[in-house]
Amino acid sequence: MTTIVVGAGPAGLEAARVLVRRGEDVVVLEANPHIGGRTYTDRTRLCYGQPADLGGSLIDLGQDKILAVCAELGIELTSQFALFPAEPDGSYSAASHVRNPIVLDGALLAECAQQRIAEEVSDALARTPPEPTEPVSAWTRRSGVSAGARTALAGVTGYNPVSHPALVPMGEIHPPTTGRVVWMLADGTDAVTRAMAGGLDIRLEQPVRLIRRTQGGVVVETDHDTFAADDVVVATPVIPTLAIGFDPVLPEWKSSALLSTPMSQGGKVIGQYSHGAAIAQRLPRTALGDGQVTTLWTRAVGPHDSIVVLGFVPDRGDGASHDEERALRALDNLVRTASGVPARRLSGILKDWTQDEYAGGVVSMLFGDRIRLQALLAAGVGPIHFCGEHTANMWATAIDGAMRSGERAADEVMQRRGSIR
């Protein structure tokens, strides 16, 4: 073989697809018993065969790479929707997020109170403009907004990535760069990765433990086998990458960049409920809460008037992101309180990405020296190339960014191949 790709998520699969099209002999090694990485969709736990997207699930306007791949492979999208409304003047700001239903202290804010909070936040943004790097919790204190406004904006930080408001800068939510127009994949997010995998040589349950550079290329060792190739593309998240042995050791600048890029911790909770049409009518976009589930949104109404609701569970040290029944009860409460519908949960599932050995967390947290870090994370070391959402210079943390990074890594392999020849 000429190239080994480590990881069968969107980045690794796109790298492999590009390389195969260019005549490379490629083997993809995946540690899990399934492909898709953090685009994992469970198809066994919900009733009526409904998909449960336990990882990435939203596609934003402007994410042209994934939209093009879906069009190429015939992957159906849902109708477009928005995660929040525009401001009265048609603009978008951090206040746009809090124009959705908000549950505080277990009670739904009255619409007039919710709008007061939105106007309060809007006025504070104009009066006390935030710095892009200023943490959300720090700005809410500096601007002097009320406790309700502080709590509402803390819930906004649960969108993407799942994190603590003290770790999310205002530049991530003001003005909002995502959520204005979004889609989901109609048959679950892994519909695209399953289609991308067609025709590729993918070896499952092959966790890579060591990558050794040799005079002629690389040798890759897994728990079961040893593979040799000219080049290797490492398409694993930050923490699993740090767990791989490299011989010789990666240079200090590369290791330091990886160590300087934490991953957000938490999980995704999915519930399937009765009274789907009533819930969809009352929750046309999303809802925020100050409990263990910080935000939720819905799929379209499904069979037998069921509806699938997706929510984020940040790991805030209270154990909720590790306890499936507790997380589902929190989602039940948020769904029923935000919608006012006495829905019955039909089924549900929690995915704790923090505890996943081959994920290490939800997504990368590139909030600090982002431009420099992304350049270092993306840079290759001889025949070892790196991709993944954390290396993307556009749409980092998103499936689209992961795919773009895979294409970029494949280009680097071919450029190196040409220079060697």
Report, in this order, helix, strand and coil percent for the chain, each rounded to 5: 35, 20, 40
Largest Cα–Cα distance of the chain, in whole Å? 70
3-class DSSP assignment, residue 234: strand
**Which residues in 276-302 are b (16+ Cβ under 10 Å) and which e?**
bebbbebbebbbbbbbbbbbbbbbebb
Which pLDDT band holds residue 159 (cuts at 50, 70, 90)?
Answer: confident
**Is the pLDDT confidence value at 386 over 60?**
yes
**Which residues in 73-100 are b (16+ Cβ under 10 Å) and which e?**
eebebeeebbbbeebeeeebbbbbbbbb
Which pLDDT band holds residue 101 (cuts at 50, 70, 90)?
Answer: very high
pLDDT tens profile 207-248: 999 999 999 899 999 999 999 999 999 999 999 999 999 999
Instruction: Delimit the domains of the chain by residue range.
Output: 3-39+190-262+363-420, 94-172
pLDDT tens profile 292-304: 999 999 999 999 9
pLDDT tens profile 44-81: 999 999 999 999 999 999 999 999 999 999 999 999 99
* pLDDT average, residue stretch 402-418: 95
Do residues 163 and 314 make contact, with C-beta atoms less than 8 angstroms apart?
Answer: yes
Closest to 218 measured CA to CA, from 78, 355, 384:
384
pLDDT tens profile 329-368: 999 999 999 999 999 999 999 999 999 999 999 999 987 7
Which pLDDT score is estimated for 160?
67
The H-assigned helical ranges of 8-158 are 10-21, 64-73, 94-97, 111-127, 136-143, 147-156
Do residues 135 and 166 make contact, with C-beta atoms less than 8 angstroms apart?
Answer: yes
* 215 CA to centre of own chain: 38
Considering the chain, what is the average pLDDT of its residues?
Answer: 95
**Is the pLDDT confidence value at 420 over 70?**
no
For 158-210, give the DSSP string. TSSS---TTTSBGGGTSS--SSSSEE-BTT-THHHHHHHTTT--EESS--EEE
Which pLDDT score is estimated for 355?
94
The H-assigned helical ranges of 225-271 are 238-243, 252-259
Closest to 67 measured CA to CA, from 199, 195, 192, 200:
192
| 3-39+190-262+363-420 maps to CATH 3.50.50.60 | yes
pLDDT tens profile 126-149: 999 999 999 999 999 999 999 999
Alpha carbons 416 and 382: distance in angstroms, whole number: 9
Model pTM score:
0.96
Of all residues in the chain, the percent with pLDDT exceeding 90 is 88
Angle subtended at Cα 407 by Cα 402 and Cα 410, rounded to the nearest 5 degrees: 125
